[in-house]
Amino acid sequence: MIQIALLLYGLYALIFGKFALGREKVVTGTRARILGGLCWANIFVAFGIGIVWGIAAEMGSAELPVDGSLRIMEFGLVIVNLIVVFMIGNTMYARQLDDEQAATLVAPATPAAGAGYSPATIADPDNPFASPTQKS
């Protein structure tokens, strides 16, 4: 059940580009889509382990357990996947905040109206090279 919820939330993150790590922490864009893909990694890892275990059982070097230990392994994989996704997500959220702060610090300042150079401003009234519009 947890794995299905993880897959659905990963699909949501892949489509919409939003991954919530908590109430205030929301990763957006490409970073959210990467986290959504990591949510899907669990199913591929479990599938690979199942194939390897099945081949080993067919060759006679391992036996398939019938007591439910595969379910415990699957649950452990989901928990480990959740921990990895949230650890990477917190790192991505911190980088997202750094990028947003850097974008606000580097934003070019627009001059106020009337500030700066104006062609009508006379820098030196005795300038012989001034245009006729600058001489008053």
Beta strands in the chain (DSSP E): 18-20, 26-28
99 or 63, higher pLDDT = 99
- Is residue 102 predicted with pLDDT exceeding 90? no
Say if residue 22's pLDDT is above 70: yes
Report residue 114's pLDDT band, with 50, 70 and 90 as the boundaries.
Answer: low
Q: How far apart are CA 134 and CA 114, in angstroms?
A: 17
Tell me the whole-structure pTM to 2 decimals. Answer: 0.68
> Given a cut of 60, is residue 107 above it in pLDDT?
no
Please name which of 84, 101, 104 lies closest in space to residue 40, comparing C-alpha atoms.
Answer: 84
In angstroms, the CA 82 to CA 26 distance is 16
Neighbour count for residue 12 (Cβ, 10 Å): 16
